[in-house]
Structure 1
Amino acid sequence: MAVDVRWATAKDPEALATVFCEMAVHYRQSPLDHGRATAAARRWLDEESPAYSHFALAFAGGEVAGLASVAIAHPGIDLERLMFLKDLFVRESARNRGVGQALVGFLAGQCLAKGIGRIDLTTEDWNEGALRFYDRFGAERHGQKIFLRLSSEALRTAAKS
């Protein structure tokens, strides 16, 4: 299957919304309203700086097949920027067809072309499929960091300090 990957543009809110809705179901969240997801995607693609976040979209057979959501951070090791891969998701109908590999290959190529020194990412320790997938690329497992999150009440507490 031929897979085309490119950065999402302001013309892609419907494609993003389609993947967001399928992601919600996959990750056992409440189903998303497609209209609400489209509005959020439109806002993110129109208003946010490309330096803040990017969505890479994969298309196969004319249909959206997956996405990667990334952010570029400054500075990284030795003053090289780093790319943080927040989400990589392949739609159920496109799994095991090279879509994930095409997305990671696209991101790696972008890093090399733009002097970005590495891609950092997280996945759940129970997600054996994801761990095997990233192992195939030679991803190193680092036990150096602990993943933390400030949300909800913690955000309010931090904002008051």
Structure 2
Amino acid sequence: MAVDVRWATAGDAAALATVLCEMAVHYRQAPLDAERALSASQKWLGLESPAYPHFALAFVDGEVAGLASVAIAHPGIDLERLMFLKDLFVPDNARNAGVGRALIAFLADHCLSQGIGRIDLTTEDWNEGALRFYARLGVERHGQKIFLRLSGEALETAARS
């Protein structure tokens, strides 16, 4: 099976929305409203510039088969940019077919061609499939950082302080 991976463009909003809806269910969230997901996808893809991509989509036989959501962070103490992989998602019907590996290869190639030194990522501790997948790729587990989140009421308080 051939997997085609590319940076999402405004024309891919429906494909992105489809994957976002499937992803919400997988990650044990309330199902997303399809129209809301499409509206958000159109907005996000319409705001993106080709120089700063955020979504890579994988397609098999013209059908969307996976998503990688990324952000590029500028230099830290090592003066190298990094790619933060926020989400890598492959729907159940496309798993174990090379889609995830194709998405990672696409991102890694982008990093190498753009002088980006590493890809950082997180996954849930309950997501055994993702942990096995990343282990097969040789992803290193780092215990130096603790994942933290500022949201909800704490985010509002921080904005007012």
1:147 maps onto 2:144 in alignment = no
Number of residue pairs matched by the alignment = 161
Residue of structure 2 equivalent to 1:28: 28
Counterpart contact for 1:72–1:82, Cα < 8 Å: yes
1:126 maps onto 2:121 in alignment = no
Runs of 4+ residues deviating >3 angstroms: 48-53
**Share of identical aligned residues, percent?**
79
Q: Deviations over 1:52-102 (max 9, x none)?
A: 651000000110000000000011452110000000000111111000000
Structure 2, unmatched stretches of 5+, are none
Letter in 2 for 1:88: L
Counterpart contact for 2:70–2:87, Cα < 8 Å: yes
Structure 1, unmatched stretches of 5+, are none
Q: Deviations over 1:77-133 (max 9, x none)?
A: 521100000000001111110000000000000000000000000011222211111
Q: TM-score, normalised by structure 2?
A: 0.95
Give the whole-Å Cα distance in 1 for the aligned partners of 2:108 and 2:40: 27
Over the aligned positions, Cα root-mean-square deviation in angstroms equals 1.3
For 1:4-153, list aligned pairs within 5 A. 4-49=4-49, 54-153=54-153
Residue 27 of structure 1 and its aligned partner are, at CA, apart by 1.3
Give the whole-Å Cα distance in 2 for the aligned partners of 1:25 and 1:125: 17
Residue of structure 2 equivalent to 1:156: 156
